[in-house]
A and B are shown apart, each in its own frame.
Chain A
Amino acid sequence: MEPILKTKENQQVLNDLTTPIVKTGRNFKLLMLVLSIVIVFGIFAYYRQLKHGLIVTAMRDYTSWGIYISNFVFFVAVSLVGSLISSILKLANAKWSYPLTRIAEMVAVASIICASIIIIVDMGRPDRFFYVITHARIQSPIIWDVIVIITYLVISILLLLLPLLPDLAICRDQLNGISQWKKRFYKAISLNWKGSPMQQKRLKRASSILEIMVIPVAFAIHTITSWLFATTWRPGWDSTNLGPYFVSGAFMLGAAVIVIAMYFVRRNFHLQAYLTHEHFDKMGKILVMLSLVYLYFNINEYLGPAFKMVGVEGEHVTELFSGKYATLYWFVQIIGLILPIIILLFRRGRKPLIMLLVSFMVLLGAWLKRFLIVIPSLQHPYLPIQDVHESYHHYYPTWEEWAITFATFAGVILMVGLMMKIFPVIPITESINNRSSKIADNDTSNK
């Protein structure tokens, strides 16, 4: 591994990209502390839920899926970013995107772990999760979802680990002043990587296969999640559009999450030379394209039912357009979708700080959108709600639900943060190789 690090410039790259691993700032420690407190509070809320049962939530017979499921769909959507950046852009030979791959893979792994956790929280009795496996009905989309989530988690971990091997070997061989456990960890996880031609060949082969395979699996995970809704007979879910609608929304959200992560990584780890304005500009273009695709699916999703206004389906659409959920619905459509498109269409709108704000708008809109997908549909069953307790008629999440939901968000940020303290957040080897190839290209053009 040493030859590539011989030049002074490359040594500089190594120093820049491993500084976050070697040094830990006070702000980072403070962030980790705050996140840990949020998680502990969430665990306390979960303890109460385990002790008293799901009655501590606002979920009842009709609204039996609450913000837990909205959150689950949200995190599954975020996890798709791994396939977008690490696979689709890589296969499209978008070389500019290499500094983003590691961030995307970390976010994907953390999100899918939290999505898995939240679905078990929603079950109420976690011990019964094993019945889902032991009494699995292959006809049920729920078991397809369980299978595809486990598969995607394994693939996401592999997608993170494989390109990491050369960097882990660099950390193992080059990093001084790190703790003993970290050294042992790098030694164990770098799998004896020496960069020999045979190792390179095997790694390239495995990575190529994985990059292709992750695309159908990523599409499957979110399509199957949409089928959990589409195969349940409820207004708003009875749609053939739901699969692509979910997938396109997930890609848009994933791109926004990457922009947010990029901004903070760039600023806090002082990586302005690696995550440039050009990266934000290009991610902005990708985000606007994905938002336009999502807008198209949004129109498709609502135009048909709104035009026909048939029965309960009509009531559901009216509730969204001008009823109880109208404020939320129009906030999602305007602030979370249309406004970001307008801002990102302009070059000025694709500057880092503006991109950050726009991405937060998309993120908030996306979470609320999942809320709107789940809750209003459940409150409009085909049979009238009669002779039930008053609490069955509405759904306002309890503090326990909010605490657990915020804990999952904190969990994702904490996991990503910890991974950034262990793994180089920007691929070192690719940065050096990319730099070398740029110099070679310049030399050729000068000649």
Chain B
Amino acid sequence: MVIFILGFIMEMFAQERGTKIELIFSDTDSVKLITAIVREQHPEDMGAPVAGIDLYFYVQRSFSLLPIGSVFNTTDESGKVEIEFPSDLPGDTVGNVILLVKIEDTPPYRDTTIQKNISWGIPLVFDEQENKRSLWAARANAPMSLILLVNSILLVVWGIIAYILFQLYMIYKEESASAKKTRQDKCSDN
């Protein structure tokens, strides 16, 4: 029991060790390789390579992180691990993607994440068709010819209706005016 408690207290007060991840990118004959070198963090020199530690490589997507590389990417005795970057990943409009390399849940090393922008993605080409005026586009992108045609027809038809309503108004108005004039004439005669 005492041993267990002591172990627990030691674990609590034990300090996690920091690591430093260095990334090297190489692109030879369209084969894109990422080499990560993991060293222990040291305030003065480079620090010793960390062997046998698993790294996780991800590419940032819209809603989550996409894992790349092998299932296990374990460093060798020189702290190195190498993975191949997929050739079919879409990037932004110029092909940039955000690469993340993580050390996760690997005591005694602290969780570490580094991220880097690389231009190894396929440049994203927006389909301009969607913004073009067409019959199947949004209402703001209706074909100009259709807008002109429909509005012209509406203008002509409703113009004629307005003219007919005006004629009806004049039928009403003229007779009212003539009746009023007759009454005024009668009054003045009297």
Contacts and interface: CB of A to CB of B under 8 A. Distances in A.
A associates with B: yes
Interface in B117-144: 135-139, 142-143
A194 interface: yes
Interface string A337-373: 0000000000000000000000000000000000000
Interface string A184-197: 00000001111010
A194 B154 CA distance: 34
Interface string A173-204: 00000000000000000011110101100110
A165 B169 CA distance: 13
Contacts of B163: 206, 209
Contacts of B175: 191-194, 196, 199
Residues of B in contact with A, size category: 20 to 34
B157 A138 contact: no
B137, B146, B174: residue with the most chain A Cβ atoms closer than 10 Å: B174
A203 B171 contact: yes
B142 A137 contact: yes
Interface string B170-183: 11101110110000
A193 B136 contact: no
B147 A138 contact: yes
A213 B157 contact: yes
A4 interface: no
B71 interface: no
B167 interface: yes
Interface in A13-27: none
Given A151-B157, A158-B161, A209-B163, A139 B176 contact: no
A154 B174 CA distance: 24
A347 B105 CA distance: 99
Contacts of B142: 137-139
B9 interface: no
Interface string A111-139: 00000000000000000000000011111
Interface string B26-50: 0000000000000000000000000
A138 B171 CA distance: 37
Contact of A192 (B136, B138, B171): B171
Interface in B145-190: 146-147, 150, 154, 157-158, 160-161, 163-165, 167-168, 170-172, 174-176, 178-179
A138 B146 contact: yes
Nearest to B154: A147
A162 B172 CA distance: 12
**Chain B residues touching A, majority SS:** helix
A144 interface: yes
A191 B175 CA distance: 9
A199 B171 contact: yes
A202 B167 contact: yes
A228 to B, nearest CB: 15
A146 B174 CA distance: 35
Given A192-B175, A194-B175, A209-B160, A138 B150 contact: yes
A302 B48 CA distance: 85
Contact of A205 (B158, B165, B167): B167
A182 B180 CA distance: 25
A209 B160 CA distance: 8
A300 B97 CA distance: 59
Interface string A35-72: 00000000000000000000000000000000000000
Nearest to A158: B164
A217 interface: yes
Contacts of B160: 209, 213
B167 A139 contact: no
Contacts of A213: 157, 160
Given A196-B178, A199-B175, A210-B164, A144 B150 contact: yes
Interface of A: 135-139, 144, 147, 151, 154-155, 158, 161-162, 165, 191-194, 196, 198-199, 202-203, 205-206, 209-210, 213, 217
7 contacts: A135-B139, A137-B138, A147-B150, A151-B157, A199-B171, A199-B174, A202-B174
